[in-house]
Amino acid sequence: MYRYDEFDHAFVAGRVEQFRDQVARRRSGELTEDAFKPLRLMNGVYLQLHAYMLRIAIPYGTLSSRQMRMLAHIGRKYDRGYGHFTTRQNIQFNWPKLSEIPDALAELAGVEMHALQTSGNCIRNVTADHFAGAAADEAADPRPYAEILRQWSSVHPEFSFLPRKFKIAVTGAERDRAAIQVHDIGLHLKKNDRGEIGFSVYVGGGQGRTPMVAKKIRDFLPEADLLSYTTAIMRVYNLHGRRDNKYKARIKILVHETGAEELARQVEAEFAELRNGELTLPAQDIAAIAAYFAPPSLPPRAEGWASLAQWKKADAEFARWVGQNVQPHKHPDYGMVTISLKAIGGIPGDATSEQMEAVADIAEEYAFDEIRVSHEQNLILPHVALADLEPVYRGLLAAGLATANAGLITDIIACPGLDYCALANARSIPVAQEISTRFGAAARQTEIGELKIKISGCINACGHHHVGHIGLLGVEKKGEELYQITLGGSGDENTSIGEIIGRGFAPEKVTDAVEVIVDTYLGLRLSASETFLAAYRRVGPQPFKQALYGNAAEAA
């Protein structure tokens, strides 16, 4: 993985000391709150309902064991012993004291981590496929390009005060596991007919109050032109993006109002000016960054096949975990392990410091010291020999991290919601907990199959409800929580925005409503292999409306 060079170390350390000084000046009154707020946000510090919140960047979701242990330490020393992994592959701590945050940032800098650009109207943490570098279906590892974008975008003077925040995601596979079509820029890394590396470029996706699926404006951009072309997009956005209305300031609105064709023309015109200039990426520079991400040397471990068969035969729970949480690796003797942070009835994305340390230990012993955070709020061990799956499982089981539900109905994405978030209108976590508990039986989850529930506590959609197969949006109506249900959303290579199915449900009714939807699906699917999403796309909303609202369905 990427290691800081001297510049990186000096830059991050310098920013920590800057922030320490800013905090001191704020506390002494030398800085007003109005002056300080944008400064703290640039350092990942929010003020939530109960306390400050510190959001730490995990670039493209990649962590070493050492870094994970530091996160555990931060949780224990500066917080309340746990952290929350987010849908942007970051981690948030909910209870730090402002006065102690500079010390926490200094400790993070010691393991090459920071909280820069995790807030503010700048280019945020660049996210990537959590199976990058390990997936069998990958054309190339997207992380070197994400790292190049990270370096280029860090305190970029031209793009530090954009009309609004800006999110970039990169995938290197046809199967999109990074939800690139709901990002401001989505990059699909691929090879052309000549075997050259390049990108399909998508622009203007996003969720929030105006969900939009990104438009493809370039089918193949040579890798050398990545920064030139991205700069061209940013310049068009910076120039024409709306600054008069916060709710219309994202690039998706510009794409919508300008039209994708015209916007692409403007980007191409800007690109023509920039192309072959100083932003062109030399092949040796790409190779130098890519070298940091070279896959570990994976020795043949063919003995794992026989061992795995025996272990599965002896332990049905282990077999179920392998079937659900282990994906094929590009090396046949290895697998990619999803560590579910979705214990039945648990809090999606939360992990205790002890659990983080357990993952760090397991990764160090069995997984080449590599951990990923997925945008689905789980952790990943990307390289585990089949021969080591059993001890890995035992270790995870002991830490309460062996829930066999990756991709199933209890693998729920949920934002912090009104239990923590100052922007939320309704709670998300208790809703997720109740749904998880209702559907937690293993046989029932298996019968239902792949089904992604995503819950947001407000229209900002941090819980990605718009792209949930079943999406739940919490709103406040007459002082009470109400949950609006959307169906048919998807955040993969066939991205779609869910459709509102009808009037909302009170908190005590929403799990029943989800159960009605699930039972309706089970009743109408053509076979057990027809997923919820496929069935919904075949039949549309009407059977679900009928089941939920009966004769009032027409009016719903």
Which residues in this chain contact other proteins in the complex, by CB under 8 A?
26-29, 33, 47-52, 80-82, 96-99, 343-347, 350, 352, 355, 399-400, 418-420, 422, 424, 427, 429-430, 433, 476, 479-481
Q: Are 412 and 348 in contact (CB under 8 A)?
A: yes
Q: The tokens 């956005």 sit on which residue?
A: 237
Name the pairing type of β-strands 215-222 and 370-373: unpaired
Name the pairing type of β-strands 470-477 and 453-456: parallel
* Residue 325 or 425 having the CB closest to other proteins: 425
Q: The tokens 């994202």 sit on which residue?
A: 250
* Residue 336 or 351 having the CB closest to other proteins: 351
Edge-to-edge order in the sheet of strand 453-456: 413-414, 453-456, 470-477, 480-487, 499-500
The least distance separating other proteins from the CB of residue 50, rounded to whole angstroms, comes to: 6
Please give the backbone phi and psi of residue 439, each rounded to the nearest 5 degrees, phi first.
-105, 15
The least distance separating other proteins from the CB of residue 209, rounded to whole angstroms, comes to: 19
**How many CB atoms are closer than 10 A to CB 191?**
13
The least distance separating other proteins from the CB of residue 516, rounded to whole angstroms, comes to: 24
Alpha-carbon distance values, 549 to 400, 516, 539, 554 (Å): 39, 10, 17, 9
Distance CA 205, CA 120 (A): 19
The least distance separating other proteins from the CB of residue 350, rounded to whole angstroms, comes to: 7
Distance CA 410, CA 413 (A): 9
* Residue 32 or 494 having the CB closest to other proteins: 32
Name the pairing type of β-strands 334-339 and 379-385: antiparallel
The least distance separating other proteins from the CB of residue 65, rounded to whole angstroms, comes to: 20
The least distance separating other proteins from the CB of residue 482, rounded to whole angstroms, comes to: 12
Structure tokens at 309: 């068969």
* Residue 377 or 496 having the CB closest to other proteins: 377
The least distance separating other proteins from the CB of residue 82, rounded to whole angstroms, comes to: 6
CB-based contacts of 45, cutoff 8 Å, min separation 6: 52, 53, 54, 55, 98, 101, 115, 119
* Residue 90 or 352 having the CB closest to other proteins: 352
Nearest C-alpha neighbor of 218 from the set 251, 172, 250, 266: 266
* Residue 182 or 399 having the CB closest to other proteins: 399
Alpha-carbon distance values, 184 to 85, 154, 203, 329 (Å): 21, 17, 6, 30
* Residue 46 or 145 having the CB closest to other proteins: 46
* Residue 264 or 458 having the CB closest to other proteins: 458
Edge-to-edge order in the sheet of strand 370-373: 62-64, 370-373, 379-385, 334-339, 326-328
The least distance separating other proteins from the CB of residue 507, rounded to whole angstroms, comes to: 10
Distance CA 125, CA 169 (A): 9
Alpha-carbon distance values, 22 to 37, 155, 280, 318, 322 (Å): 10, 17, 37, 51, 49
The least distance separating other proteins from the CB of residue 52, rounded to whole angstroms, comes to: 4
* Residue 244 or 508 having the CB closest to other proteins: 508
The least distance separating other proteins from the CB of residue 468, rounded to whole angstroms, comes to: 21
First to last CA, the chain: 51
* Residue 53 or 187 having the CB closest to other proteins: 53
The least distance separating other proteins from the CB of residue 96, rounded to whole angstroms, comes to: 8
- Looking at the DSSP assignment, which residues form a beta bridge with residue 338? 380
* Residue 386 or 404 having the CB closest to other proteins: 404
* Residue 98 or 319 having the CB closest to other proteins: 98
The least distance separating other proteins from the CB of residue 352, rounded to whole angstroms, comes to: 6
Distance CA 423, CA 417 (A): 8
SS3 532: helix
Nearest C-alpha neighbor of 65 from the set 364, 388, 395, 392: 364
Q: The tokens 């009714």 sit on which residue?
A: 509
* Residue 51 or 442 having the CB closest to other proteins: 51
The least distance separating other proteins from the CB of residue 283, rounded to whole angstroms, comes to: 48
